[in-house]
Amino acid sequence: MIGEFSIEMARLTWFGHAAFLLEVGGKRIAFDPWIEGNPKCPISLDDFEGAHIYAVSHSHGDHGLNDAIKLSKEKGGVIVGIFELANYATERGAKAVGANIGGFFDVEGVEIALTEAIHSSDIGSPVGFLVRIGGKTFYHAGDTGLFGGMSLIGDLYSPEVSMLPIGGYYTMDPVQASLALKMLKSKVVAPMHWGTFPVLKGTPELLEEEIRKLGIKVRVLKLKPGEPVEI
């Protein structure tokens, strides 16, 4: 059963790695809900109340496709992702909406657009997500390196809140993420994909240093897994 909360609330909870729960506009949107096997996640899959939407950026095991399928089947909600990934989820009994990189479309009363992401994936192409709801635009970049198209995202949508990977090795590091923020024109950033494994050496503190060097003003959220913050 999907939990209820005030429609005026705008709340973000990080569950470690790239997993977030965004609660806004009366909706619960789970990004890359890797819960089982996530060493930073403080809850079990049974503890998770479910979501209206599970936005899965790509098929790598640390981004929650299998967990999203199980949650959709047992607790309701729709998986959203690249066309081939959504077909995979549907074939396994989940409810899913597949799309491709382009304009906004409606899912459960939420406007969503898929964006480019520079990465790899076993099923379809990796993507990021733009979500418009509650008068704000949120951006979850998925796993990605820095790419010039972030300037276009900033020019077109200027997402108020961006969830960006900073760990390095598999994704952007703090230097690249700070430049991404300049291009995106975001005022708030939730760092992700850091600290889960030893090779992911980027930290929010290093990101803050790089942001200061660029002379831009961005609030860096210092999130602890499982503890919600209002944004």
With respect to residue 3, please indicate whether it lies within any of the assigned structural domains. Answer: no
With respect to residue 227, please indicate whether it lies within any of the assigned structural domains. Answer: no
With respect to residue 195, please indicate whether it lies within any of the assigned structural domains. Answer: yes
What pLDDT score was predicted for residue 30? 98
With respect to residue 148, please indicate whether it lies within any of the assigned structural domains. Answer: yes
φ/ψ bin of 205: left (φ > 0), alpha (ψ from -120 to 50), beta (otherwise): alpha
Residue 211: pLDDT over 70: yes
Give the domain CATH number at 79: 3.60.15.10
With respect to residue 21, please indicate whether it lies within any of the assigned structural domains. Answer: yes
CB 136 within 8 A of CB 161: yes
What pLDDT score was predicted for residue 95? 98
Residue with the larger pLDDT of the pair 9 and 32: 32
Q: Number of structural domains, the chain?
A: 1
Average pLDDT over residues 56-61: 98
What pLDDT score was predicted for residue 2? 54
CB 81 within 8 A of CB 105: no
Strand (E) positions, the chain? Answer: 10-14, 20-24, 27-31, 53-55, 78-82, 96-99, 105-107, 110-116, 127-133, 136-140, 161-165, 188-192, 219-220, 229-230
Range of the domain at 160: 10-222
* Spatial distance between the Cα atoms of 98 and 84, rounded to a whole number of angstroms: 7
With respect to residue 25, please indicate whether it lies within any of the assigned structural domains. Answer: yes
Question: For residue 225, which of 21, 1, 9 has the smallest C-alpha distance?
Answer: 21
Tens-digit pLDDT profile for residues 148-176: 999 999 999 999 999 999 999 999 999 99
Tens-digit pLDDT profile for residues 100-124: 999 999 999 999 999 999 999 999 9
| Residue 227 Cα distances to 87, 144, 222, angstroms | 33, 25, 10
> Residue 5 — pLDDT band, cuts 50, 70, 90?
very low
> Residue 128 — pLDDT band, cuts 50, 70, 90?
very high
With respect to residue 36, please indicate whether it lies within any of the assigned structural domains. Answer: yes
